[in-house]
Amino acid sequence: MIKKSMAAEVEKPRVVADVDTGIDDSLALIYLAYLHSAGEIDLVVTISAGNTTVGQAAVNSKEVLRLAGAPEVSVVAGAGKPLVLPLTTTPETHGKRGLGYYSPELEAGCGDAHEDVRGDVRAAVHGDARAAVETWRGATHILVAGPATNLAWALAHEPEVVGPAQITLMTGAFNYPGNTTPTAEWNAWVDPHALKAVFGGEASGEPVAQSAQSVQCPRSPQRPLPVICPLNVTEQVLLHPPRLSRWQDAVRPSRPQLAALLGDALRFYFEFHQSVGVGYCAQIHDLAAAMVMLGRIPCSLYDATVDVEADSPLMRGTTVADRVVDGGGGSVAAVRGDVDPAGACGAYWNRPANARILEALDPADVFAEFERVVCGFGAD
């Protein structure tokens, strides 16, 4: 695991992880919790409903943070359902409670386990989008690793809260099969109206048309374009059992319960991926997105105009990108806002870029960074 830096103090990134904590979200939270404990970032966690209910995702998040050694990190639940559509969860992918075969000791109804976290989780279970978004004030980075419901609400009602933060979303699939329908990725499919609103589109559904249409992340010198980490890149990050065993061996001496969580959660995830023909392994989407957000791994990006299909039952959640022909991007520097695509437009829609899309990364870099931070492999 990493040690606290002894270098001269610099302002730490204030990171919001907006999650719907299932299994891959938990790996992102573990990574961010270790960075938080090492003094590298200040972490706040907010919740959307998606992989599981908002209450269960809050419980899962608090449990993961506790096991990762960061029980002090606040967890506040946001929207309990999508903007327009009924909530769909995915127990077949993440298990009945969202963490595979692992059962959090603290129930979503806030039982008697762990007095130190019970009150915080109770507040989270009964939260709403407003409560969650209020915690975003002052954030430098916002990771949206679940449906974009809370982000759409923030941009519609309190856009100043988002401020100049770098927004990074794990969502969408571009020119690539989806993992929920033939064309749609899960996070985009769960709340397509929210994602469409984030990128400035108008959906016909109610009540979103009154509250969240045309609220896209406005581009300014102070606010970089949001970054999308799509399925076609993140699903290349494949975790196999031998690597998981090494992770468990590394953390077990100091955090045996964390090692147990990793084993119980990821065994379920391996079995799910095997059942859908991927093999006995797991695609680790959100961890990669967290690292891209913080610029901790090399990657390439491109600028594009993005839109989302929200109203068609057939194409629900389908994400479409019109690549900007002269828009810079293409490096970690682009994530940090060093490249200005102002004036460049896509070839088809003739509209300026409203997003940067992750095009490539090396999965080996993702695993090396996790192992350096969490497992202590290769640490100085």
Note whether residue 261 is domain-resident. Answer: no
3-state secondary structure the chain: CCCCCCCCCCCCCEEEEEECCCHHHHHHHHHHHHHHHCCCCEEEEEECCCCCCHHHHHHHHHHHHHHCCCCCCCEEECCCCCCCCCCCCCHHHHCCCCCCCCCCCCCCCCCCCCHHHHHHHHHHHCCCHHHHHHCCCCCCEEEECCCCHHHHHHHHHCHHHHCCCEEEEECCCCCCCCCCCCCECHHHHHCHHHHHHHCCCCCCCCCHHHHCCCCCCCCECCECCCEEECHHHHCCCEECHHHHHHHHHHHCCCCHHHHHHHHHHHHHHHHHHHHCCCCCCEECHHHHHHHHHHCCCCEEEEEEEEEECCCCCCCCCEEEEEEECCCCCCCHHHHCCCCCCCCCEECCCCCECCEEEEEEECHHHHHHHHHHHHHCCCCC
Note whether residue 356 is domain-resident. Answer: yes
Q: pLDDT, tens digit, for every residue of 59-82?
A: 999 999 999 999 999 999 999 999
Note whether residue 207 is domain-resident. Answer: yes
Q: pLDDT, tens digit, for every residue of 13-48?
A: 999 999 999 999 999 999 999 999 999 999 999 999
Residue 229's domain comprises 14-234+283-363
Note whether residue 109 is domain-resident. Answer: yes
Note whether residue 213 is domain-resident. Answer: yes
- Residue 206 pLDDT exceeds 50: no
pTM: 0.87
Note whether residue 370 is domain-resident. Answer: no
Note whether residue 371 is domain-resident. Answer: no
Number of domains in the chain: 1
- What average pLDDT does the segment 207-228 reach? 58
- Residue 317 pLDDT exceeds 70: yes
CATH code at 220?
3.90.245.10
| Residue 368 pLDDT grade (very low, low, confident, very high; cuts 50, 70, 90) | very high
Note whether residue 268 is domain-resident. Answer: no
pLDDT given at position 106: 62
